[in-house]
């Protein structure tokens, strides 16, 4: 008999009816003799509602108080799920992150898990109980409640699976696996039976929110067998293959990820002398703003234009910092745009195939989509384009790389 850690996301516990559905599902596993540890998210929309309340109260709320607030959503669902399980004659016990203990560092709203105490959970499992743990939260050394960043319940699931040496970590959600791209954007997107760990890591970091990136990192580090499945439909889901088999023929492109959360800033007419990049980016990083893509161009008269992207939430903060830097450097000025998006093609097969980037650029040119920035790595090519073309670009690239469901059926 196996030990499963099962994580159910917000929509899967979005109503009393759905929580009953999850309880039926968990009970099914118990009836088959398996041990189950369940991790749940808050009901869908709840975390956003709580964040909304905070922003009504204060412009920049104290991160510690934010964590006290947003962690409440998961406390509701663990209790309701335990009630539903007991109603079905299935013994269960709920735990908050602090009760487990899931110990984290003290970086509120983006805390990292350091250690998990498995004693209570093991004792409950031995007594035949289902253990239900609140996702997304932990506790730091001083006893402060912390949270793991948006989508963090995935990471709780994988971390518990690692700590308990579970047979599999199952991420149950509102789609039946990982697709070639977001199936809500491309109708012809195809479910993948297997995706390599490296590809999943890139997809998650480039915007596919089906799995939180930290969860994928954790799975890789601790070799946790990880599967994404539909909460209420049967099916094999998608296995994240941690032991990537390089001997297998890999498709050139496995998936397309995209991200609307980006904004672009440019400082124009900067003197082209050593140390300029550092003078521009050090104050940005000192303001705790993460930079993603960077582009530098020597323009007319040997002056440099320097462009970079940041998270859209940091856009206005970054603009203020950059305006100050521009004055100090005697630059011509600054520009900014937050109506951009990033589209990326991902695939380990890229390593052994030439011309992948040019296929991407040709495809976008055919659709008359202007590329504003480009960045590449061994297994991905990302471009920044105007946000209004995002869906068109994703659909066109999905076809250009033969990822459509139809294309695959025809080739068989």
* Residue 359 makes contact with ligand ADP by CB under 6 A: no
The minimum distance between CB 339 and ligand ADP, in angstroms, equals 21
* Residue 251 makes contact with Mg ion by CB under 5 A: no
Among 268, 328, 264, residue whose Cα is nearest residue 298: 268
The minimum distance between CB 73 and ligand ASP, in angstroms, equals 5
For ligand ADP, which stretch binds (CB under 6 A), given 52-60, 113-121, 167-175, 315-323?
167-175
For ligand ASP, which stretch binds (CB under 6 A), given 40-48, 178-186, 239-247, 392-400?
40-48
How many residues in the shown chain lie near ligand ASP by CB under 6 A? 13
The minimum distance between CB 181 and ligand ADP, in angstroms, equals 5
For ligand ADP, which stretch binds (CB under 6 A), given 95-103, 176-184, 352-360, 367-375?
176-184
How many residues in the shown chain lie near ligand ADP by CB under 6 A? 19
Site residues (CB under 5 A) for Mg ion, limited to 6-25: 9
**Residue 323: φ, ψ to 5°:** -60, -40
CB of 64 or CB of 150, closer to Mg ion:
150
Q: Which residue has the tokens 């990822």?
A: 403
Q: Is 135 left (phi over 0), alpha (psi -120 to 50) or beta?
A: beta
**Which sign, positive or negative, has the C-alpha torsion 200, 206, 208, 213?**
positive
Half-sphere exposure of 44 (CA within 13 A, CB side): 13
CB 116 within 8 A of CB 100: yes
Binds ligand ASP by CB under 6 A, chosen from 14, 73, 177, 347: 73
Neighbours of 121 (CB within 10 A): 22
CB of 9 or CB of 177, closer to Mg ion:
9
Q: From the list ligand ADP, Mg ion, ligand ASP, none, which binds 47 (C-beta under 5 to 8 Å, kind-based)?
A: ligand ASP
Q: From the list ligand ASP, Mg ion, ligand ADP, none, which binds 42 (C-beta under 5 to 8 Å, kind-based)?
A: ligand ASP
Among 285, 130, 159, 290, residue whose Cα is nearest residue 217: 159
- Neighbouring-strand partners of residue 95: 133
Neighbours of 311 (CB within 10 A): 16
CB of 195 or CB of 325, closer to ligand ADP:
195
Could you please report the per-residue DSSP string of 289-352? --EEEEEEEE-GGGEEEEEEEEEGGGHHHHHHHHHHHHHHHT-SEEEEE-SEEEEEEE-GGGGG
**Contact residues for ligand ADP (CB under 6 A)?**
9-12, 41, 151, 173-175, 178-179, 181-184, 208-210, 255
**Contact residues for ligand ASP (CB under 6 A)?**
9-10, 41-42, 47, 73, 135-136, 150-154
């Amino acid at each position: 008999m196996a030990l499963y850690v099962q994580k159910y996301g917000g929509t899967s516990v979005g109503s009393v009816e759905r929580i009953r559905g999850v309880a039926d599902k968990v009970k099914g596993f118990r009836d088959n003799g398996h041990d189950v540890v369940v991790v749940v998210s808050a009901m869908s929309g709840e975390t956003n509602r709580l964040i909304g309340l905070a922003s009504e109260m204060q412009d920049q709320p104290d991160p510690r108080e934010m964590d006290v607030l947003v962690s409440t959503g998961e406390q509701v669902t663990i209790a309701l799920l335990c009630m539903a399980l007991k109603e079905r004659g299935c013994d269960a016990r709920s735990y908050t992150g602090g009760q487990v203990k899931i110990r984290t560092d003290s970086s509120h709203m983006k805390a990292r898990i350091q250690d998990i105490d498995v004693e209570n959970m093991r004792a409950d499992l031995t007594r035949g109980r289902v253990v239900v743990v609140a996702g997304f939260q932990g506790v730091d050394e001083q006893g402060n409640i912390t949270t793991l960043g948006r989508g963090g319940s995935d990471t709780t699931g994988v971390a518990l699976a690692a700590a308990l040496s579970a047979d599999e970590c199952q991420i149950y959600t509102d789609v039946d696996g990982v697709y070639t791209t977001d199936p809500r954007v491309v109708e012809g997107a195809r479910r993948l039976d297997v995706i390599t760990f490296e590809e999943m890591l890139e997809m998650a970091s480039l915007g596919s929110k089906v799995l939180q990136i930290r969860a994928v990192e954790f799975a890789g580090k601790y070799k946790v067998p990880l599967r994404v499945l539909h909460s209420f439909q049967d099916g094999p889901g998608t296995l994240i293959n941690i032991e990537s088999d390089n001997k297998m023929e890999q498709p050139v492109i496995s998936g397309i990820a995209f991200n609307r959360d980006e904004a672009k800033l440019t400082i124009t007419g900067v003197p082209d002398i050593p140390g300029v990049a550092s003078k521009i980016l050090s104050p940005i990083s000192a303001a705790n703003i993460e930079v993603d893509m960077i582009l530098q161009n020597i323009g007319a008269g040997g002056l440099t234009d320097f462009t970079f992207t940041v998270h859209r939430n940091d856009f206005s903060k970054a603009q203020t910092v950059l305006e100050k830097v521009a004055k100090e450097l005697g630059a011509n000025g600054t520009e900014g745009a937050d109506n951009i998006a990033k589209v990326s093609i991902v695939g380990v097969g890229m390593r052994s195939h030439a011309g992948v980037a040019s296929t991407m650029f040709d495809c976008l040119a055919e659709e008359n989509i202007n590329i504003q920035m480009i960045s590449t790595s061994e297994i991905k090519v990302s471009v920044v384009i105007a946000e209004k073309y995002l869906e068109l670009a994703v659909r066109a690239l999905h076809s250009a790389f033969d990822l459509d469901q139809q294309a695959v059926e025809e080739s068989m």
